[in-house]
Chains A and B, each alone.
Chain A
Amino acid sequence: EAGVAQSPRYKIIEKRQSVAFWCNPISGHATLYWYQQILGQGPKLLIQFQNNGVVDDSQLPKDRFSAERLKGVDSTLKIQPAKLEDSAVYLCASSPNTGFGGYTFGSGTRLTVV
């Protein structure tokens, strides 16, 4: 089965610019997650979707971050404007609706804000 696809793999932008990341989950996985992983830290949840509805966005900095999941499949995470502290790896993951299965992660997008 195909894995979780993410693009781009790397992105370098200047502070105050905007950036967008794309994720395509495993086919049939209803739940999609975006995590932020700062160097030396474990991943931290930004937002969780169930189909195309938001389940948890309590840790999403909503003044600059936004995310959407159109038609319950692909998802886009946007940052506008970016700050230096947004430099991190952004990981997308998906899981089956049943909750018994494990999570599958994409390779991530490494963002550097200069």
Chain B
Amino acid sequence: KQEVTQIPAALSVPEGENLVLNCSFTDSAIYNLQWFRQDPGKGLTSLLLIQSSQREQTSGRLNASLDKSSGRSTLYIAASQPGDSATYLCAVANQAGTALIFGKGTTLSVSS
């Protein structure tokens, strides 16, 4: 049974810092991995989608890497801003068209 773990559960940093959020999964035979952002009381916003054949994806100040063999993904946020404060969720799909399996998330707080 696939399990997704995110470390740390919470993180507080001053504005401008570069930071890394970690995600691990127990079954390396995934189809894709997706990082989401969730603001309080809101739904999920997709940030980056990495297919199993890819090693990384970049969007602006965000970079996500995937190491399938070790069952790990990292989300790198460069030059953090207070507006980045949110919960970041990692999720994997085991096969095409199947439901996502989520971690519990990392709650990020960026202070100005």
Binding site for B on A (CB under 8 A): 4, 6, 31, 33, 40-45, 48, 50, 55-56, 91, 93, 95, 97-108, 110
Q: Which of B46, B89, B96 contacts A42 (CB 8 A)?
A: B89
**Are B4 and A42 in contact, with the CB atoms below 8 A?**
yes
Interface string of B20-49 (1 = CB under 8 A from A): 000000000001001010000111111001
What's the Cα separation between A51 and B63 when bound, in Å? 34
What's the Cα separation between A6 and B37 when bound, in Å? 18
Tell me if B100 is interfacial: C-beta within 8 Å of chain A: yes
Q: B72-112: which have CB < 8 Å to A? A: 89, 91, 93, 95-105
> Across the A-B interface, how many residue pairs have beta carbons closer than 8 Å?
61
**Are A44 and B44 in contact, with the CB atoms below 8 A?**
no
What's the Cα separation between A43 and B100 when bound, in Å? 9
What's the Cα separation between A95 and B46 when bound, in Å? 12
A42 with B99: in contact, given A104-B46, A105-B44, A107-B42 (CB under 8 Å)? Answer: no
Which residues does chain B contribute within 8 Å of A91, judged by CB atoms? Answer: 43-44
Which residues does chain B contribute within 8 Å of A101, judged by CB atoms? Answer: 49
A42 with B41: in contact, given A50-B97, A99-B96, A102-B46 (CB under 8 Å)? Answer: no
A31 with B97: in contact, given A103-B46, A105-B43, A106-B43 (CB under 8 Å)? Answer: yes
**Are A99 and B102 in contact, with the CB atoms below 8 A?**
no
Expressed in whole angstroms, the minimum distance between the Cβ of B27 and any Cβ of chain A is 16
